Structures are given as C-alpha cells and as structure tokens.
Structure 1
Amino acid sequence: MPTREEIHMAMMPESDSGHEVLFEPSTDAVWVIFHGMRHRVASAGVYDALFRPHPDMRVVQGVEEIVCGPDLVEGTCLVKGSSTSIIYLVTGAPAVNVRKYEIMSFEYFQALQFDESLCRVVPDIVLSAIPNGPKIG
C-alpha cells in the first residue's frame, strides 16, 4: 500500500465514468469504485498487482456513504486471453466465487488507473473457465 507521502494528494475531480480510485487518509484505505460500489484493496500485494506506481487518487473522507462491495483480495489480477485484447479484472475467493469482470473500454481501464504492464496473458482455455461477473463500464 502506498504511504501518504507517496500519494499525489491533489484533489481530483470526481470521475465522469463513476469508476475511480479513492484514498481515505483516516484509515489508509484504498478503494476502487465500480458497479456503484466501493471495493477495498485488501493488501499491498493486491495494490501492486493492479496499479501504476503512483496513481492519482481522489482523497476523500467518509466513504461509508458508498455501498460496500467485495474486497479485492489476494490473487486479484488483470488478465487477458492469448488471442484477444480484452482485459479482465479477476477477483474473488478461490473455490467459492472467483469471477472475471470485463473492462469495457480503455477509458474505464484508465479511470481505474490500472497498469497495463501488469496485465497477465493466460491461455484462452484458462480464461474461458472463469465465470463472468458483470462488465465494468
């Protein structure tokens, strides 16, 4: 997880897409907003698997007003199939509810400040075995 000093603390305008990354200084929590819910980045490992080195996060207080969705847990990653350019966010508890969420456009990918260089390429057969969650975007 980033330290307070590592985060660009400039107040950013709210995302037009409704998809964004928020930092709550009072709890040192990083939240990813999509599907109208906040998803807590559960660890430094998850943070490092998704984001460019120093994303510009909108600094907020009191995110409890946003409905809380499932945390982004260990193993959460960005993937794409070996024969496609579609990028998915894969997250969930293994053997319980792992899902892939198609990121509908590069605009949404950028709004979430994901790092494309961290996207893993997997065989199409592996990707097809992961159930779909709702699309992001």
Structure 2
Amino acid sequence: MNAVRSPMAELLARQALPATTFVASAGVRAGERDPFVDAVLAEDGLSLGERHPRTLDDLEDDYFDLIVTLAPEAHHAALELTRSLAVDVEYWPTPDPTNAGSTREQVMAAYRDVRDRLKARISGRFLNTEAKKATD
C-alpha cells in the first residue's frame, strides 16, 4: 500500500544515490501514511516531508530500468506490469513490521529492522556496485 517499506526504501535510496538517479515508489493499493515510518526515519534525521502513499497509477513516469519489489503481491504486480517491457525486476523480501508485537518498543524495533535492512540492501546493491565499477 506504499505506506511502510516502499516509502522508506525510496527515501533511503534518494539519500544514498546520486541526484541524477530517478527513484519513485508506489503500491499495489492505496494506503495511509504510517506514523511509525516517520518515527524511525526521524531517528536518522530523515523525513518524508509532505509525501503521501501512491499507487502504480499515480506515478508520472512509467519507464524504469529497474523495479525493486519488497512484498510478494507487489512483485507479482510488477512482473505482470513489465511482462512485455525490457525492465529488470528484483524481489527483496522484506518483513512487514505492521504486525510486530504489542508494545510500542516492539513495533519500533520491527520498523527499525526494516529500515536497517533496506539501508544495507541499497548499499550492497547500488553503492558497492558503483565503487566496484570505479576501480575496474
């Protein structure tokens, strides 16, 4: 629903990648902004600002070199969307933190885990690749 994992990934990728890299996130269904996302991003000095959840239909551009999906439903939708296009689709299984625990600290820990996994995955996929290209 473009409310938790995907907006986190979008913001973390925007922070890590060159400004010339187009990054956008969208969900299969419409969703509501999640305050826990704002809280864990604020711990890193980041903010989604006025950004609100978007669906695939809300995207202004439909040309991508790479689509990264974080949930099974999104992955299946991306494969269907791109079946006749020359687009790479990668699936990064990422846990849904919205069902984690009953205390605020348990929930925050789950959201932090997702944030940290996404940071590591973005770094490993894009930043280490760029560093390797520079030394080749």
TM range (shorter): under 0.3
Answer 1 or 2: which has greater strand percent.
Answer: 1
Answer 1 or 2: which has greater helix percent.
Answer: 2
When Rg is computed on C-alpha atoms for both structures, the one with the higher figure is 2
| TM-score, normalised via structure 2 length | 0.26
